Structure 1
Amino acid sequence: MGCQASRRILLLLATIVVATSQPPPTAAQTASCADHTFSGGRLYAACSPLEELDASVHWTYHASNGTADVAFRVPGGSAGWAAWAINPSAVGMLGANTVFAYHDPATGVVAVATAVVDSYTPAFADGDLAFAVHRRGAEYTDGVYAIHATVALPGNSTRQNIVWQAGTSSPDGLPESHQVFGDNVMSSRSWDFRSAEAAVVVDDVPAAPRYSVYRALLRPKNVRTYDSLDHHILDFFTWENLAGLCVQIHGVLNAVSWGVLLPLGVMLARYMRVFPSLDPAWFYLHVACQCSGYVIGAAGWVFGLTLGSPAKGALQHHGHRNIGTALFVLSSLQVSALLIRPKKTVKVRFYWNLYHWSVGYTVVVLGVVNVFKGIGILQPDQKYKHAYLGAVLVLAVVAFVLELVTLTVRFKKGRR
């Protein structure tokens, strides 16, 4: 009984945290979205700001025929795209029946298309949705995309799962994958077109806004529904929502390991060993850097394999993935080679050194290249790219200075 009570308390606390994470729109926010205007004199009965991606949704519900006039606004670059969707089967991206807005590369004007997103690597093609879409259109003004359409609400239900998104386009103008962290993985709601409230649906609990779900749960008649909350709480820990966090962990681990620790370890071995007073300290520092870099890099590689799993329909970046796998294999060989390192007096030590140096420098070059490839894929804020670029430049400048110093030391030793 005690364990069950604790479990219920934890579930309730988790529900409160999730429910209160999205406060209701303030009067000022609602007034702000109500000030938006649309071409063609389009007017809508209600609107609501969407915190993620600084978007807003506007709509008029027609109870007589179960349709809704919907307009969606989101900021975006001119070389980008925007999308708004209804997902009839789940909360999230997969299964979303989507209306896209993008710049047609042939004409330069904003075009609109509809498609069902059935995987994380969907083929972009204009097609039919699971419900009727009438009078669809889009425009781009002052850095903001606006999509408008009249949709037949699936199942003639006012409560629908909505999804919205924005991203960049490829050189041929077609939408590319959006970022997989932050707002881009949190932009979905269970939405009621009648009551104008974003809601979480809980078994046996009347529909309620996100911020007041816990109030309904506290009512005595709903005590029996606590055990049914498990899958609703877990819905917030889906692959799609956790992917953003995993991508960030993957990026940080690999940048620190392949991109910083391993180059630093090579520098320690190359430049400290010239000075006899630093022997064997340089060796232990070198091994510490390389082994810690290998362990951290292996963890980052595992995260990368999970993120790029075809079984999850994830977007595949084959070049980045293949280089990462090559790094893991070569680094594993380097670590294993330490166990069979011959003594300095043995002739074969020359060939072992040749192998060790060539593989080591290959790993350093591939590691730095792959970190930059990962930054290009992830497209984080420029400050993170500049931070890593700064770290690489610092290492390069230090290496250049130490190269001059060690060359001078070796030259003086050679003249004695």
Structure 2
Amino acid sequence: MIFVFSILLLQIHHSHSLNCSSQKFTGNRLYDQCNDLPQLSSYLHWTYDSSNSSLKIAFVAPPAKSDGWVSWAINPKAPAMIGSQALIAYKVDGKMTVKTFNVSSNKIAPSKIAYEVSDMEAENSNETMTIFATIALPTTMTKINQVWQVGSAVVNGTPAAHAMQTENLKSTGTLDLSMKAQNTSSNTSSNTSSHSGGVSSTLRNINGISIFSIFSGFWFLFG
């Protein structure tokens, strides 16, 4: 029983750690907000500075395959991939890079986008890729349509098409830039899930199985 209970505690710790508020970055990078995005095991950390309308972001996601790519984008017209102004991170000659793409069709190539972007950097660690960037936005933009995506391959230096699974097609949402800074992840749209609760909520439900049922099983086995 002690052995089984120890495994349960490890599962609780692992599940509790899988949220944006537990993530740390190199260079002591800090952000006011973070969101556990609802698709593709992705996370967005961000700080919006209203004094100069700049958005500083760190987007974290695992590529579909180790030599694949990850992307975070703003679409000024709709929460959709076509028309999005994207940042895409991938490997070139074994080294991480991040480039801007104006996604005007299904065929893409590196290009200038509608927003000025600075401090672009990409990292690859622990089977995830991270995009860092600062984006200058119009002063009138208080909400943005965000789109994120992952792919499995890069062909001739260009990200290849992503899969068309449900999670790939639903990886969109709205980011409310007017939200006040918090220390935990926040819900910024109906399509963006947030992390809340903690160990107590994890205890109540682990992978859909109630803790009461688990301990009832212990009592049946060892009682």
Could you tell me the TM-score, scaled by structure 2's length? Answer: 0.71
Deviation at 1:90? 1.1
Match of 1:63 in 2: 50
Which amino acid letter does the alignment assign opposite residue 100 of structure 2? Answer: T
1:191 aligns with one of 175, 179, 188: 175
Deviation at 1:190? 1.4
Write the distance in 1 (CA, Å) between the matches of 2:103 and 2:136.
18
Q: Is the Cα–Cα contact under 8 Å of residues 124 and 130 in structure 2 kept in the other structure?
A: yes
Q: Going by fraction, where is helix more abundant, 1 or 2?
A: 1
Match of 1:228 in 2: none
Deviations along 1:279-323, one digit per CA (max 9) or x if unpaired, are: xxxxxxxxxxxxxxxxxxxxxxxxxxxxxxxxxxxxxxxxxxxxx
Match of 1:109 in 2: 95
Does 1:82 pair with 2:66? Answer: no
Match of 1:132 in 2: 116
In structure 2, the CA distance between the partners of 1:86 and 1:177, relative to structure 1 (3 Å rule), is same
Look up the SS of the partner of 1:149 in the other structure: strand
Which amino acid letter does the alignment assign opposite residue 28 of structure 2? Answer: G
Unaligned runs of 5+ in 1: 1-27, 201-208, 212-416
Q: Give runs of aligned pairs for residues 20-169 of structure 1, distance below 5 A.
A: 32-76=19-63, 77-104=65-92, 106=93, 108-122=94-108, 124-125=109-110, 127-169=111-153
Deviations along 1:184-233, one digit per CA (max 9) or x if unpaired, are: 00000011123254336xxxxxxxx889xxxxxxxxxxxxxxxxxxxxxx
Match of 2:5 in 1: none
Deviation at 1:180? 1.1
Q: Is the Cα–Cα contact under 8 Å of residues 174 and 192 in structure 2 kept in the other structure?
A: no
Write the distance in 2 (CA, Å) between the matches of 1:29 and 1:67.
31
In structure 2, the CA distance between the partners of 1:30 and 1:187, relative to structure 1 (3 Å rule), is farther
Which amino acid letter does the alignment assign opposite residue 153 of structure 1? Answer: L
Q: Is the Cα–Cα contact under 8 Å of residues 38 and 192 in structure 2 kept in the other structure?
A: no
Which amino acid letter does the alignment assign opposite residue 198 of structure 1? Answer: T
Write the distance in 2 (CA, Å) between the matches of 1:109 and 1:210.
31
Deviation at 1:169? 1.6
Deviation at 1:173? 4.2
Write the distance in 2 (CA, Å) between the matches of 1:65 and 1:142.
34
Q: Is the Cα–Cα contact under 8 Å of residues 136 and 150 in structure 1 kept in the other structure?
A: yes
Write the distance in 1 (CA, Å) between the matches of 2:17 and 2:143.
20
Match of 1:176 in 2: 160
Write the distance in 2 (CA, Å) between the matches of 1:48 and 1:180.
24
Deviation at 1:109? 0.6
Q: Is the Cα–Cα contact under 8 Å of residues 90 and 154 in structure 2 kept in the other structure?
A: no
- Greater relative CO, 1 or 2 (CA 8 Å, sep 6+): 2
Write the distance in 2 (CA, Å) between the matches of 1:181 and 1:118.
21
Q: Is the Cα–Cα contact under 8 Å of residues 69 and 154 in structure 2 kept in the other structure?
A: no
Deviation at 1:73? 0.2
Deviation at 1:131? 1.2
Match of 2:197 in 1: none
- Report the identity percentage: 34
Deviation at 1:129? 1.2
Write the distance in 2 (CA, Å) between the matches of 1:138 and 1:34.
20
Q: How many residues align?
A: 172
Which amino acid letter does the alignment assign opposite residue 103 of structure 1? Answer: K
Deviations along 1:154-203, one digit per CA (max 9) or x if unpaired, are: 45422000000000224534210001121100000011123254336xxx
Write the distance in 1 (CA, Å) between the matches of 2:87 and 2:122.
9
Which amino acid letter does the alignment assign opposite residue 137 of structure 2? Answer: L
Unaligned runs of 5+ in 2: 1-14, 180-185, 194-223
Deviation at 1:29? 6.9
Look up the SS of the partner of 1:52 in the other structure: coil
Look up the SS of the partner of 1:134 in the other structure: strand
Could you tell me the TM-score, scaled by structure 1's length? Answer: 0.39
Write the distance in 1 (CA, Å) between the matches of 2:41 and 2:57.
17
Write the distance in 2 (CA, Å) between the matches of 1:170 and 1:152.
28
Write the distance in 1 (CA, Å) between the matches of 2:88 and 2:106.
16
Deviations along 1:368-397, one digit per CA (max 9) or x if unpaired, are: xxxxxxxxxxxxxxxxxxxxxxxxxxxxxx
Q: Is the Cα–Cα contact under 8 Å of residues 44 and 59 in structure 1 kept in the other structure?
A: yes
Q: Is the Cα–Cα contact under 8 Å of residues 30 and 49 in structure 1 kept in the other structure?
A: no
Say what the alpha-carbon RMSD is for the aligned residues.
Answer: 2.2
